[in-house]
Structure 1
Amino acid sequence: MAGSNRAAFLVTLAGLSALITAWGSGYYLAALNYPQKERYQPYRDTANKPAPTDSAIRLDASPETFKYRAPCNDPKGRDESDLCAQWKSANAAQDSAFWAQWGVWITGIGIVGLLVTISQGRLALSRAREANDIARNNSERQLRAYITIEPSGVNEAENGLLAVPMNVINNGQTPAYNLELKGDFLIVGGDPRQFNPAEHGRLGEDKSTTDGNLGPNSNRYSLSYLDEEICEPHWGDIHDKKAAIVHYGTLTYRDVFGHKRETNFAFYHWGGELSDVESKRCRWGNSAN
């Protein structure tokens, strides 16, 4: 049920309850304001104790018509007063039963309305909580740090090592903290684009390095080093693009909201110059959360 339909239903229910209450109250007050409309049986107008009459005299008398009157209009004696009290008590009991019945119905309607209101309140609270979670998640996605990594070729270094730089870029609106890089190298024959780190990788905890923090909309070059002796037997195939140096790993960090994030990477380097133009992404391992 849409929000507008629920509101219309609650307004209709409240109006119906008010209408029933107003009609019942008006009916009862109207009855109290017209005491002349008696609601009990009239009876013949006779004395409490009729005086004895002479039968002979009454034989010649003409018939007398008795009028009807209510017992509470100018009662004659104690008996009529008692009868009036009994009638009033009976009428009060009847009215009480009548309004008790209406009271039960009105109370039932009120309880149903209360339950509906409670249910709608709980539903509205749940929807508000969901909306708040969605708004918070959207805000976090707009403001959080997003780190991507791009390959930058292979360079010669001293002491028989090859330097493999990576361009680490924070594309988000807030800083990234506690950057931790875990990476490794492999010489892969054939097509390196199909290298899957989940199947062929061998990362261990000893491969981790800490790289500090990275501000919003900024970048930093991170260097990893490869022993040139590992590549020595494969230089011919690497230059002819029959084999490649594969650099893969994971960069973890925390955003300003305290969530731990992770960016996976997998690059291959081959060709005559091993330049950044010849460095490409593998099909697998390039994802960020």
Structure 2
Amino acid sequence: MKQQAEPPAPHWIMALIGIVVALILAFGLGFSIGTDQHLGSSLRIPTYRFAADDPGLAEPSKNGLHSSALERRRPCSNPRGHEEADLCAQWRSAVAGERAAWASEWSMRLTAVGALLSALGLFALVATLSQGRKALARARKANRIADKSSRIGLRAYLVFGIEVIDVDLKGPSPSVTVKFYLKNTGQTPAKGLMVSRRLKVGKPFEDDAFFMTKTWRPTQSRALLGAGQEAPRTKRYGITIGDARDIQMGKKHIYFFGEAEYEDIFGQAQRLQFRRWMSKSDLTHFNSSPSGETST
């Protein structure tokens, strides 16, 4: 079954975050400039118009005459008397209070902007970690597939072969002589080879119980079967006169079957099951039985 491809990562989210951050910074910069200009004009040390009760108290003008009773006083740059000094102190206190309020307001605004940027950064970090986790999972899956493919290509594979040497059904001691072998066609050795095999005479269509091998003792073993090596064996099997007669009449077949168990270099247990049959129509070779040939 084909796996559906994963949707591409939403890269547009990062672009949207960048646009939002740029808009926030532009707005904050413009607002800051406008507020600074307004604040600068409002926080200048003010002057006031002084009206003297006695015109004689007014400062003389440049031509020596008395100016108008109204004049512009600057108590914080040129105070006259303790009253203007007190007035300057009050103004300076008010200006300091306004500046403190302005600084507190902007500190709060900057804190909010910083919190927003931190949230956006956290979101981007979570998105990055999520993409990294997905990439890591895909890399691990690819490594598992590559490792499995490598093991399949390198492990030991056993194949079974058999040849008919002689079939004697008419003599006083009927027998079947065969040569069989197991060959390692893989690239690495097979370890702990254990083979169970048997030749039996049975009906043309026997059920699976006829071919049970689990209760047998291994008839052949080998500690190591290297790559390309064979484990051959030639053996003569005796059969009864009655079975020999039934074979000649086509009532029974000759079966050769068994299994081989071994371990590959990766420590995995492997198993080869083989089943062959021969009838009176051709007593020179065994035929394969697809239902009984399995391999792991």
TM-score, with structure 1 as normaliser: 0.73
1: CA distance between counterparts of 2:249 and 2:40?
116
Shift of 1:82: 1.1
Q: 1:200 aligns with which of 190, 210, 215?
A: 210
Q: 2:265 aligns with which of 238, 256, 267?
A: 256
* Counterpart AA for 2:8: N
Structure 1 vs Structure 2 CA RMSD: 4.2
In structure 1, the residue matched to 2:96 is 85
Contact 1:178/1:210, CA 8 A, preserved across alignment = yes
2: CA distance between counterparts of 1:225 and 1:51?
143
Report whether the alignment pairs 1:237 with 2:246.
Answer: yes
* Counterpart AA for 1:122: R
* Counterpart AA for 1:80: W
* Counterpart AA for 1:175: P
Q: 1:5 aligns with which of 5, 8, 26?
A: 8
Report whether the alignment pairs 1:288 with 2:295.
Answer: yes
Contact 1:14/1:113, CA 8 A, preserved across alignment = no
1: CA distance between counterparts of 2:242 and 2:107?
108
Deviates more, 1:200-209 or 1:13-22: 13-22
2: CA distance between counterparts of 1:253 and 1:40?
94
In structure 2, the residue matched to 1:165 is 179
Pairs aligned (count): 265
CA separation of 1:286/1:40 partners in 2, compared to 1, >3 Å: closer, same or farther?
A: farther
1: CA distance between counterparts of 2:207 and 2:144?
36
Q: How does 1:61-76 map to 2 (within 5 A)?
A: none
In percent, how many aligned pairs have the same letter? 21
Q: Secondary structure at the match of 2:217?
A: helix
Q: How does 1:126-145 map to 2 (within 5 A)?
A: 126-145=137-156
Shift of 1:138: 0.4
* Counterpart AA for 1:236: R
Q: How does 1:53-132 map to 2 (within 5 A)?
A: 53=53, 77-132=88-143
Deviates more, 1:27-36 or 1:238-247: 27-36
Residues 230-281 of structure 1, C-alpha deviation per residue, up to 9 Å, x if partnerless?
xx212133234331111211111122222111111111122276322xx111
Contact 2:273/2:294, CA 8 A, preserved across alignment = yes
CA separation of 1:153/1:125 partners in 2, compared to 1, >3 Å: closer, same or farther?
A: same
2: CA distance between counterparts of 1:113 and 1:196?
66
Q: How does 1:36-55 map to 2 (within 5 A)?
A: 36-38=37-39, 47=48, 53=53
In structure 2, the residue matched to 1:275 is 284
Shift of 1:17: 4.5
In structure 2, the residue matched to 1:153 is 164
2: CA distance between counterparts of 1:17 and 1:221?
74
Shift of 1:151: 2.8
In structure 2, the residue matched to 1:16 is 17
In structure 1, the residue matched to 2:63 is none
Deviates more, 1:122-131 or 1:132-141: 122-131
Q: Which has the larger radius of gyration?
A: 2
Q: 1:227 aligns with which of 238, 248, 252?
A: 238
Greater relative contact order (Cα 8 A, min sep 6): structure 1 or 2?
Answer: 1
TM-score, with structure 2 as normaliser: 0.72
Q: Secondary structure at the match of 1:101?
A: helix
Contact 1:144/1:173, CA 8 A, preserved across alignment = yes
* Counterpart AA for 1:284: S
CA separation of 1:33/1:208 partners in 2, compared to 1, >3 Å: closer, same or farther?
A: farther
Structure 2: runs of 5 or more not aligned: 55-67, 77-84
Report whether the alignment pairs 1:184 with 2:198.
Answer: yes
Q: Secondary structure at the match of 1:238?
A: helix
Contact 2:275/2:288, CA 8 A, preserved across alignment = yes
* Counterpart AA for 1:280: N
